[in-house]
Structure 1
């Protein structure tokens, strides 16, 4: 099982290059960044984590800009999003950004995606919350067409363009990792994904979760897909929990860094040191 880090990279926390180097130097295999384009001041959409939305949600760097800086100053770690809200992006523009990042990173980019939860944020982008998942999947299809064809075109419900030229192409087809844990998420992983990122799977629920992982791999084999990697976002750092994740069929865990608050960069580096002690 591999070990990586996921974080809300904020303007008051460690600088992107500093964090990327620290993650790589300590031996982790991946650094994944969250995404919110912005946060509307309205709080009509309840935050799934509780009554008060933490400040970090409105202070995040653009993940693709930050990852480009990190890519240019690291050599080994996988770099990606966990998750990008791709339905809120123009797919032609995002396809070029991801391909450009992958070229800079030398083929180390993974695109974790999710439909999002903040209806007001979606509305500011002209996205109907009721159709966000369908739009997300079309955007993935359109981006894959751009990445793999010299003259790409796509005609769907939400995305429609005649043949276009768009370079650079990525060094490889960036793996698309589908986020979420709902009842139909495995369908999306199998139809549009190259892996699955479930969110904060509790240790108490790992028996049930292991059954879902087995179902995913069984269905993938039946479809001729081969093994589809599973990455758990926000894994518990307790050694016994890590053993349980591995037994459940998890391929990689992402430790979510604690939000230190302003001017506490050293606290993040200390946390990385502590997490690095868990690496094999």
Structure 2
């Protein structure tokens, strides 16, 4: 099993040292959350009962690709992904150029984890149509893959019409695409066009099993299975090597963990609540879990 580091709600100046620690300790991928701005949103956050998002106005949301560039410049092995990026809240070429450049300069250590988004307010401010976001996403992902292959490309679709043209630099290898979301539409999309699926909330074990069964059904419709399909699932149980071995054997290839979420009272007393705590708990998790799985 591969261990992705969930760094949501970290302060911007913590990302570089967290990436360096992840690189040293054997984490597979560092994730960066994506929001453009905070406001008194009209849109409801879909993963809370109240509809309110689980973050404060002062929460840092650094630009995903600038942050990944900074982290990749001071690391050698660890990979990077947004969790999740909303490409259809931007124009096509802003996305194509940013991801292509980040992948190239990081020596192919970028994973493109993306979803259609829930925050209508952000679409309104960037001038993108919220109501067609699913159809635009379905057209955008294959078109991005074509542009990232390099050479002259043209595309003439319902929402995107361009070329012949080319961008450079382009990645030396295909950028893996992970699809977020847990609705039937999102899971079908992942099964149809994704290299994997990524969850962005913590799943209780029974809920995760239910979700996997649904995903397996949609994969079967495409002649696919969990073999070769990378599921990245945060698991809502106390971390242990046994826990992750069980879910690895079930077909969960990767998990998302933020070890400071389960810091002990002793660790909080010793290290406080900032960067020092985060790195100390990452070290413990690496020793107790990653090294044994």
Question: Once the 2 structures are TM-superposed, how far is the Cα of residue 231 of structure 1 from its aligned partner?
Answer: 1.0
Shift of 1:172: 0.8
Q: Is the 8 A contact 1:214 1:249 kept in 2?
A: no
CA apart distance, 1:235: 5.3
Residue number in structure 1 paired with 2:122: 121
Cα drift, residue 115 of structure 1: 1.0
CA–CA separation in structure 1 for the residues paired with 2:140 and 2:282 = 35
Q: Give how far 1:134 is off.
A: 1.4
TM-score, with length taken from structure 2: 0.83
Q: How has the CA–CA distance of structure 1 residues 91 and 241 changed in structure 2, closer, same or farther, with 3 Å as cutoff?
A: same
- Counterpart CA distance in 1 for 2:205 and 2:235 is 11
Are 2:280 and 1:265 aligned? no
Paired residue secondary structure (2:83): strand
| Distance apart, 1:57 and its partner CA | 7.8
Count of residues paired in the alignment: 276
Instruction: Check whether the contact 2:5–2:257 (CA below 8 A) recurs between aligned residues.
Output: yes
Equivalent position of 1:278 in the other structure:
289
CA RMSD of aligned residues (A): 2.7
Q: Contact 1:99–1:168 (CA<8 Å) still a contact in 2?
A: yes
Q: Extract unaligned runs of 5+ from structure 2.
A: 262-267
* Among 37, 40, 43, the residue aligned to 2:41: 43
**Any unmatched runs of 5+ in structure 1?**
none
Answer yes or no: is the 8 Å Cα contact 1:231–1:252 preserved in 2: yes
Q: Per-residue CA shift, 1:136-176, capped at 9, x if unaligned?
A: 22222221121124111222222221211210011111011
Q: Which residue of 1 aligns with 2:264?
A: none
Match of 2:131, SS? helix
Runs of 4+ in 1 over 6 A off after TM superposition: none
Q: After the TM superposition, which residues 1-280 of structure 1 pair with which residues of structure 2 at under 5 Å, given as runs?
A: 1-8=1-8, 10=10, 12=11, 14-39=13-38, 41-47=39-45, 48-49=47-48, 51=50, 52-53=52-53, 54-55=55-56, 58-199=59-200, 200-220=202-222, 222=223, 227-233=228-234, 236-239=237-240, 241-256=243-258, 264-276=274-286, 277-279=288-290, 280=292
